[in-house]
Amino acid sequence: MEILEFNEEIKFDEELILVLGYFDGLHLGHQALFAEARKVAAVLNLKIAVLTFPEKPTLTFEKFSPDMLLKLTSDQKRADLFAENGVDYLVFKDFTSDFAHQTSEEFSKNVVLKFNPKVVITGFDYTTGSDMQNLKSTEDYRVIIIPEQADDQGKISSTRIRKAVEEGEIAQANALLGYAYETTGLVVHGFARGRQLGYPTANLVIKDFIHLPAVGVYTCDVLFHGERHRGFASIGYNDTFNGTEKTVEVHIFDFSGEIYGEKLTVLWLDKIRDMIKFENMEQLIAQMKEDERIARRYRL
């Protein structure tokens, strides 16, 4: 997959299938667009291009708050997901005021036609231009609008997934995503309390602007050097030890070795429990043994 920046000079000579959207998380609803794109591309023997944005379009319209920078996937994971969904050209465009103030006709002329599209695929809620209209078919290209994708709880959306992650409902978030929610972090030195308890942990610093699951203990899988290991992870403040700084700590089962400075990817699978402040270390160790039993027995 080729990654490009949209600019005035960009122009594709070959005909393409163009998919439009922001795609935070690239969840099951989004994946329906790419399933259709792959089907059409196979029939017409064309490649697939995506025009998307590096940040949420709401940054252009609403008062800024730091939470607006948080995403469901890192930039690298998002690119990987596009590639897995059959994208050949991933094109980024900053969502500026000038971009937003175009009419639908200007958007078609200044943006869409640059991709020389035979077919354009969008979601039902994707609007273009200052007149906020759905893109319409023209003599140059056909538009396919994918209807709302829903489960028994309603529309599958990034908003629902963000809420599930922030409330610790990881299994629900994963069901809507179609894959395990993940966080990548750098292993740094902590207080080494886990080692004293018989459960050495990797303390992670998360450098990406990613939504973290709610405070609690979770069953997880850990990706390290291409191998997948089961473990459990905690997000919290080390209440038993009167901690004040939020930490992400991961214990990997049946694993030993010094891994400081390494990157680990945590695949969050299911929540085990909320954080508890224990009276003594014996109670904490007993609970961690139960956490381990639950995590080891978890089946995907």
Tokens of 252: 């990997």
CA dist 45 and 184 (Å) reads 36
Give the closest residue to 271 by CA, choosing from 230, 194, 213. 213
CB within 8 Å of 260: residues ≥ 6 apart: 187, 188, 189
Q: For position 186, what pLDDT does the model report?
A: 95
Q: For position 131, what pLDDT does the model report?
A: 66
Give the closest residue to 280 by CA, choosing from 217, 201, 197. 197
- pTM score: 0.91
Q: For position 191, what pLDDT does the model report?
A: 61
Superfamily of domain 2-155: HUPs (3.40.50.620)
Does residue 93 contact residue 51 with C-beta atoms inside 8 Å?
yes
Pairing between strand 89-92 and 2-5?
A: parallel
CA dist 155 and 250 (Å) reads 33
Q: For position 83, what pLDDT does the model report?
A: 98
CATH no., domain 180-297: 2.40.30.30
Q: For position 132, what pLDDT does the model report?
A: 73
Handedness of CA 200, 182, 210, 4 (dihedral sign): positive
Residue spans per domain, the chain: 2-155, 180-297
Q: What angle do CA 224, 228, 233 make, to 5 degrees?
A: 80
Q: For position 244, what pLDDT does the model report?
A: 46
Q: For position 241, what pLDDT does the model report?
A: 46
Q: For position 284, what pLDDT does the model report?
A: 87
Place of tokens 């609007």: 127
Q: Per-residue pLDDT for the chain (300 aa), expressed as one digit of tens each?
A: 999 999 988 999 999 999 999 999 999 999 999 999 999 999 999 999 999 999 999 888 889 988 889 999 999 999 999 999 999 999 999 999 999 889 889 999 999 999 999 999 999 988 876 667 788 999 999 999 999 999 999 999 999 999 999 999 999 999 999 999 999 999 998 765 656 666 888 999 998 999 999 999 999 999 999 999 999 999 987 654 454 467 899 999 999 888 999 999 999 999 999 988 887 888 888 889 999 999 999 998
Catalytic residues: 249
CA dist 6 and 95 (Å) reads 11
Cβ-based neighbour number of residue 142 at 10 Å = 14
Place of tokens 């303390």: 203
Give the closest residue to 269 by CA, choosing from 179, 196, 190, 209. 179
Q: For position 238, what pLDDT does the model report?
A: 64
Helix axes 170-177, 158-166, angle to 10 degrees: 160
CB within 8 Å of 91: residues ≥ 6 apart: 3, 4, 5, 6, 10, 49, 50, 51, 52, 115
Q: For position 189, what pLDDT does the model report?
A: 87
